[in-house]
Chains A and B, each alone.
Chain A
Amino acid sequence: MEEQTPFRIGFVVLDRQIIDGDGRPAGKVDDVELTWEEGGGPPVMSALLTDSAALGPRISGRAGRLWRSAMRRLRPSVSEPARIAVEDVAAFSPSTRLTTAAPEQANLAEAWLRDHVIGRIPGARRGDDAGE
């Protein structure tokens, strides 16, 4: 019989870099979602949460509360952290590789800053490699 090594969420999943289907960095695994199936049994990891807001509950104490309230004020329209279903994950370690694109919601801050700040500075579209 094949010996099963325990799958440690804290070590293999949490705080790992997420790489989306196109090979681009898409944040960190800030928290995980556990679901209890009907009829009892142990909880199952159903999704990864990636969002600086999801970090709040993981930083305990006053700093965590401060983080959460700051995040709420920064974006009142978004209440839930970005969610990635476990089925979309191709590999967990060393980096979390997705088979799909990252959820839209994970890129809200990036898109806003791109459109309103960085994109407005001349030369923002040019990288070091010619043609970009």
Chain B
Amino acid sequence: MKRLLSFTLGFLAAIGGFLDVGDLVANSVSGARFGMSLAWAVPVGVVGVMLFTEMSTRVTVVTGRSTFDLVRERLGARAGLVNLLACYLATLLTLAANIGGIALALELASSIHYLLWVPVAAFLSWFVIWRVPFQGMERTYGLLGVALIVFSVAVWRLGPDWGALLDSATSFAPPPTEPWPTWWFYAVLVLGAAMTPYTVLFFSSSAVEEGWTAEDLREARTNIFIGFPFGGFLALSIMACAAILLHPAGVNVHELDQVALPAAVALGKVGLILAVIGFFASTFGASLEVGLAAGYSIAQYFGWTWGKTTAPVRAARFHTVTLLGFVAATALILTTVDPIKVTEVSVILSATTLPLTYLPVLVVANDRGYLGSLVNGRATNILASLYLVFMLALALAAIPLLVFTKGGQ
């Protein structure tokens, strides 16, 4: 029974860990503009993130070596530093986006302007990292994040024309009124939101935080292989809600309350409340994970003691860097930039840094000197190599698409 409970909690945490403000925005925006024609990007992204998260968790659990430790060892000081800076920048923007997301969710709940909530949101996230034990932290937001299932119920309650939805989902082309480059821009957005590098970094580092060993690998895999697809299912539900309700009405999603609108229309007040709880939990959870991931990456590169589970006085540099990350991200959001725009840019930037984190993971996962019999199988390698080529193409296309489509206008 205890095992079952721990398993359930673990995979719930994986759902909550999968969804962040990037997923909420990307899926809703693209549903509203392109119907279900970008639905393919969600499963493609989920498989990619599962593949590489499992790989890096396996490497970390078996060798006790963390991701950026290996990045530096394999790439050397210089290329490793470039890699670190690019990833850190993307992670910091993602943190800013999620702090903005928490503040917007709190604005939805309270009608108090989000800028007033930003310092509160940032302080709360940092405080939870400072004081709340790791497992409790992970499980609480994971559990609350499941409130987003309200979007799946809403799809069903809205009573859509399932045939038309399926047609749209299998068309692999933008609606006639939309140009291809814009469609591809949003495809990168949905893919990038699903495959954010911080997920890989956080998940593998949390394996160390929770003291997992090779025996726990099965549980870790189950969490990833059940939790992430379920998170993807919720992401698809959000997209479908927008496709059913907002797309025919020609609504363009610019605000978080528009993302929640379908839940409110389909299920009334209860729907809205659940959506807001889900938004809060997923953005809050993400800001904890991203904030920690930012600290992990730097500490692992320089070889400092890191970890949320050790007393902060024993990991002073790690905690200082984490704290500074929160300060910088909060400052960025307080400049009154649009948090939704920050979210989109952070996802695009994450997409360009994907191959940087994923390539060293793939290389080490094939090293028998480290992993013995637990190295990648042939099927995993073929699939992972295909993904790496695909992600390289995404990375190269992301910034040009951002500029060319003027941020998807």
Interface residues of A (CB under 8 A from B): 10, 14-18, 24-28, 30, 50, 52, 55, 58-60, 94-95, 109-111, 113-114, 117-119, 121, 123-129, 132
Contact = CB atoms under 8 A, between A and B. Distances in A.
B76 A15 contact: yes
Contacts of B192: none
Contact of B311 (A10, A27, A117, A127): A127
Given A111-B316, A114-B313, A132-B310, 10 more contacts: A16-B73, A17-B69, A17-B303, A58-B77, A59-B77, A59-B81, A60-B78, A123-B312, A126-B131, A128-B309
A76 B249 CA distance: 65
Interface in B39-78: 63, 65, 69, 72-73, 76-78
B76 A27 contact: no
B128 to A, nearest CB: 12
A108 to B, nearest CB: 11
Interface of B is mostly: helix
Contacts of A95: 65
Contact of A118 (B63, B65, B80, B316): B316
B302 A15 contact: no
A15 B72 contact: yes
B73, B306, B319: which has the most chain A beta carbons within 10 Å?
B73
Interface string B71-105: 01100111011000000000000000000000000
Given A14-B77, A94-B65, A27 B316 contact: no
Nearest to A31: B77
Given A59-B81, A123-B131, A52 B316 contact: no
B312 A110 contact: no
Contacts of B370: 94
Interface string B345-375: 0000000000000000000000001100000
Contacts of A28: 72, 301-303
Contacts of A25: 303-306
A15 B73 contact: yes
B77 A30 contact: yes
Given A59-B81, A60-B78, A126 B304 contact: no
Contacts of B306: 25
A114 B316 contact: yes
Contacts of B77: 14-15, 30, 55, 58-59
Contacts of B309: 127-129
Given A94-B63, A94-B65, A124 B305 contact: no
Interface in B283-326: 301-306, 308-314, 316-317, 319-320
Interface of B: 63, 65, 69, 72-73, 76-78, 80-81, 130-131, 133-134, 301-306, 308-314, 316-317, 319-320, 369-370
B305, B308, B316: which has the most chain A beta carbons within 10 Å?
B316
Contacts of A111: 316
A16 B77 CA distance: 10
Nearest to A59: B78
A18, A52, A109: which has the most chain B beta carbons within 10 Å?
A109
A60 B78 CA distance: 8
Contacts of B133: 128
B65 A17 contact: yes
Given A15-B80, A59-B77, A27 B310 contact: no
24 contacts: A14-B76, A17-B65, A25-B304, A27-B303, A28-B302, A28-B303, A30-B77, A52-B302, A55-B77, A60-B78, A109-B317, A110-B316, A111-B316, A118-B313, A118-B319, A123-B312, A124-B313, A124-B319, A125-B312, A125-B313, A127-B312, A127-B314, A129-B309, A132-B311
A68 to B, nearest CB: 13
A114 B254 CA distance: 43
Nearest to B304: A25
A95 B65 CA distance: 9
Contacts of A18: 303
Contacts of B320: 113, 117-118
A121 B320 CA distance: 11
A10 B314 CA distance: 31
Closest 6 CB pairs of A and B: A127-B311, A114-B316, A28-B303, A128-B309, A113-B316, A118-B316
A56 to B, nearest CB: 10
Contacts of A118: 312-313, 316, 319-320
A41 B303 CA distance: 34
Nearest to A124: B312
A55 B314 CA distance: 24
A126 B317 CA distance: 16
Contacts of B63: 94
